[in-house]
Amino acid sequence: MARANNPGALIMSGYGLNSEMETAEALMRAGMASDIVHINDLIAGEKTLSDYRLMVFPGGFSYGDDTGAGNAYANRVRNNLWSDVKEFLAGDNLVLGICNGFQILANLGLVPAFDRDRPREIALMPNRKGVLECRFVTLKPAADNLWTKGISHLYCPVSHGEGNFSCSEETLKRIEREGMVAFRYSRDDLSPAGGEYPYNPNGALADIAGVTSADGKVLGLMPHPERAMEFVNLYDWPVRKERLKREKKPLPTESMNMQFFRNIVEYFGK
Amino acid sequence: MASYVHRIEVQYSRDPRLPTRTERFRSLGFPLRELHLVDVYTIATAQRDFSPEELSQIGAQLSNPVVQRYSVDQPTEAEFDYAIEVGFLPGVTDNAGTTARQTIEDYFGFRFGEGEAVFSSQLYLVCGDLTPESLERLTAALANPLVNRVHVRSREEYAGKGMDAITPFVHLHDLQAAGTVDLDLPDAELARIGKEGILDPATGERRGPLALDLAQLHAIRDYFRRLGRKPTDVELESLAQTWSEHCKHTIFASAMDDDVPRGLYKTCIQAATNTVREAKGDDDICVSVFTDNSGAIVFDDENLVTCKVETHNSPSALDPFGGALTGIVGVNRDTIGFGLGAKPCINIYGYCVGDPDTEPALFRGKNRTNPILPPRRIFEGVVRGVDVGGNCSGIPTPQGWCYFHDRYVGKPLVFAGTVGVMPRANNGRPLHEKQALPGDLIVMVGGRVGKDGIHGATFSSEALDPASPVTAVQIGDPITQKKFSDVIVKEARDLDLYRSITDNGAGGISCSVAEMARESGGCHVLLDRVPLKYPGMAPWEIWISESQERMTLAVPEEKIEAFMNLMKRREVEATVIGTFTDTGRCVVEYGGETVMDVDLDFLHDGLPKKHLLTEPVKTAYPEPDVPCPDRLDDLLLAMLKRKNICSKEFISTRYDHTVQGGHVLGPVQGAGRVQTCATLTKVVPGSMKGVGLSQGLFPMYSELDPYRMALAAIDAAVRGLIAIGVPMDTIALLDNFCWCSSDEPGRLWQLKRAAFGCYDGAVGFETPYISGKDSMFNDFSGFDADSNPVKVSVPPTLLITSIGVHPDVMTAVSMDAKFDGDLVYVVGETGEELGGSEYLAHLGIEGGAVPSLDIETAKVRYGRMTDAITKGLLASAFPVTHGGLLVALAKVAIAGRVGMDLAVPGGMRPDTYLLSESLGRLIVTVAPGDREAFEEIFGSDAHLIGRVGGETFRVSAGERTLIEQAVTAMETAYKAPFGGY
CA B585, chain centre distance (Å): 34
Chain A residue with CA closest to B812: the answer is A238
Asked if B96 is an interface residue toward chain A (Cβ–Cβ < 8 A), one would say yes
A98 DSSP β-pair partners: A221
- Give the distance between the most distant pair of CA atoms in chain A: 58
Residue B787 scores a pLDDT above 80: yes
* pLDDT, mean of residues B712-740: 98
For A103, nearest residue in chain B (alpha carbons): B64
- What single letter denotes the amino acid at residue A198? P
**pLDDT tens digits for range B364-401:** 889 998 889 999 999 999 999 999 999 999 999 999 99
**B903 contact partners, CB below 8 Å, separation of at least 6:** B945, B946, B955, B956, B957, B958
Could you tell me the CA-to-CA distances from B743 to B242, B251, B607, B750 in Å, in that order? 20, 9, 18, 12
- Candidate from B204-213, B275-284, B485-494, B894-903 with smallest mean pLDDT: B204-213
CA angle B617, B619, B622 (to 5 degrees): 165
How high is the mean pLDDT in each 10-residue block of chain A (270 residues)?
A: 62 96 97 96 96 97 94 95 96 97 97 91 94 97 97 98 96 97 97 97 98 97 98 98 97 97 91
**Mean pLDDT confidence for B948-964:** 96
**CA–CA dist B185, B189 (Å, integer):** 6
Give the mean pLDDT of B24-49.
92
The verdict on B57 touching A (C-beta cutoff 8 Å) is no
The total number of residues written for chain A in this structure: 270
Residues of A with catalytic function: 99, 224, 226
Q: How far is Cα B64 from Cα A75, in angstroms, rounded to an integer?
A: 11
- Secondary structure of B319-386 as H, E, C letters: CHHHHHHHHHHHHHHHHHCCCCCCEEEEEEEEEEECCCCCCCCCECCCCCCCECCCHHHHHHHHHHHH
Which residues in chain A are closer than 8 Å to B63, comparing Cβ atoms?
67-68
| Residue B117 bridge partners (DSSP) | B44
Lowest mean pLDDT among A212-226, B169-183, B572-586, B939-953: B169-183
Q: Is B310 annotated as a binding residue?
A: yes
Q: Where are the domains of chain B?
A: 4-158, 813-981
Question: Which residue, among B283, B908, B653, B249, has the nearest Cα to A136 in the 3D structure?
Answer: B653
- Facing residue for B20 by CB, picked from A67, A79, A130: A130
Position B904 scores a pLDDT of 96
- What pLDDT sits at residue B176? 72
> Residue A129, CB half-sphere, CA atoms under 13 Å: how many?
19
Interface touch B16/A120, C-beta < 8 Å: no
- B511-538: per-residue pLDDT in tens? 999 999 999 999 999 999 999 988 888 8
B896 Cα to chain A: minimum distance (Å) = 9
Of B64, B392, B570, the CB nearest to A61: B392
pLDDT band (50, 70, 90) for residue B470? very low
Q: Is B565 on the interface with A (CB under 8 A)?
A: no
CA gap B724, B727 in Å, rounded: 9
Give domain limits for chain A.
Answer: 9-269
ipTM of the shown complex: 0.97
Q: What mean pLDDT is predicted for residues B350-356? A: 97
Does B681 lie at the interface with A, CB-CB under 8 angstroms? no
The pLDDT score that the predictor gives to residue B90 is 85
Using CA atoms, how far apart are residues B887 and B871, in angstroms rounded to an integer? 28
Quick one: pLDDT band at residue B466, thresholds 50, 70, 90? very low
Q: Is the pLDDT of residue B88 over 70?
A: yes
Cβ contact B61–A75 (<8 Å): yes
What local confidence, expressed as pLDDT, does residue A5 receive?
46
Q: What is the pLDDT of residue B464?
A: 32
Closest in B39, B570, B816 to A38, CB measured: B570
pLDDT given at position B220: 96
- Answer whether B811 touches A (CB < 8 Å): no
Residue B660 has pLDDT above 50, yes or no: yes
User: What is the DSSP-derived secondary structure letter of residue B930?
Assistant: G
Q: Is the pLDDT of residue B417 over 90?
A: yes
- Rounded Cα gap, residues B305 and B320, in angstroms: 30
User: Looking at residue A270, what is its pLDDT?
Assistant: 59
User: What is the predicted pLDDT for the residue at B469?
Assistant: 36
Average model confidence (pLDDT) for chain B?
Answer: 93
CA distance A39 to B569: 10
Reported in sequence order, the residue ranges of B211-342 that DSSP labels E, i.e. its strands, are: 255-256, 286-288, 295-298, 303-311
Helices (H), strands (E): how many in chain A? 7, 11
In this prediction, residues B482-486 reach a mean pLDDT of 94
CA B627 to chain centre: 41
What is the arithmetic mean of pLDDT over B573-578? 96
Residues of B designated as active site: 246, 312
Angle at B187 between CA B182 and CA B188, to 5 degrees: 100
Window 368-397 of B, Cβ < 8 Å to A: 387-388, 391-394
Q: Which residues of B are less than 8 Å from A66 in CB distance?
A: 95-96, 98-100, 120
Read off φ and ψ for residue A220, nearest 5 degrees.
-110, 130
Cross-chain residue pair A72–B99, CB shorter than 8 Å: yes
Question: Any binding-site annotation on B546?
Answer: yes
The predicted pLDDT at position A4 comes to 40
Query: Rounded to the nearest 5 degrees, what angle is found at the Cα of A71, between the Cα atoms of A68 and A72?
Result: 110
- Higher-confidence residue of B179 and B929: namely B929
Determine the CATH number of domain A9-269: 3.40.50.880
B467 band by pLDDT with thresholds 50, 70 and 90: very low
Residue in B closest to A169 by C-alpha? B66
B343-353 and B399-404 strand pairing = parallel
Of chain B, the percentage scoring pLDDT greater than 70 comes to 98
pLDDT score, position B458: 33
Instruction: Among A61, A131, A230, select the one facing B394 at the smallest CB separation.
Output: A61
Q: Pick the residue with more confidence: B846 or B569?
A: B569
Pick the CATH number of B813-981 from 3.90.650.10, 3.30.465.10, 3.90.1150.10, 3.90.580.10: 3.90.650.10
Strands across the sheet with B523-526, in order?
Answer: B500-503, B550-555, B441-446, B574-580, B523-526, B585-590, B593-599
Phi, psi of B152 (to 5 degrees): -120, 135
Report helix, strand or coil for B944.
strand
Average pLDDT over residues B918-922: 98
Inspect the interface and report whether the beta carbons of A130 and B663 lie closer than 8 Å.
no
Measured between alpha carbons, how far is A63 from B222 in angstroms, rounded to an integer? 51
Residue B462: its pLDDT value, please?
A: 32
B644, B697 Cβ separation under 8 angstroms: no
* Residue numbers in A near B59 (CB within 8 A): none
CB contact under 8 Å between B661 and A164, yes or no, is no
How near does any CA of chain B get to the CA of A136, in Å? 9
pLDDT score recorded for residue B473:
66
DSSP string computed for B101-166: HHHHHHHHT----TT-EEEEEEEEEEES---HHHHHHHHHHH--TTTEEEEEEEHHHHTTT-S---
Angle (nearest 5°) at CA B892 between B886 and B896? 145
Nearest partner of B620 among B704, B702, B712, judged by Cα? B704
- Has residue B890 got a pLDDT over 50? yes
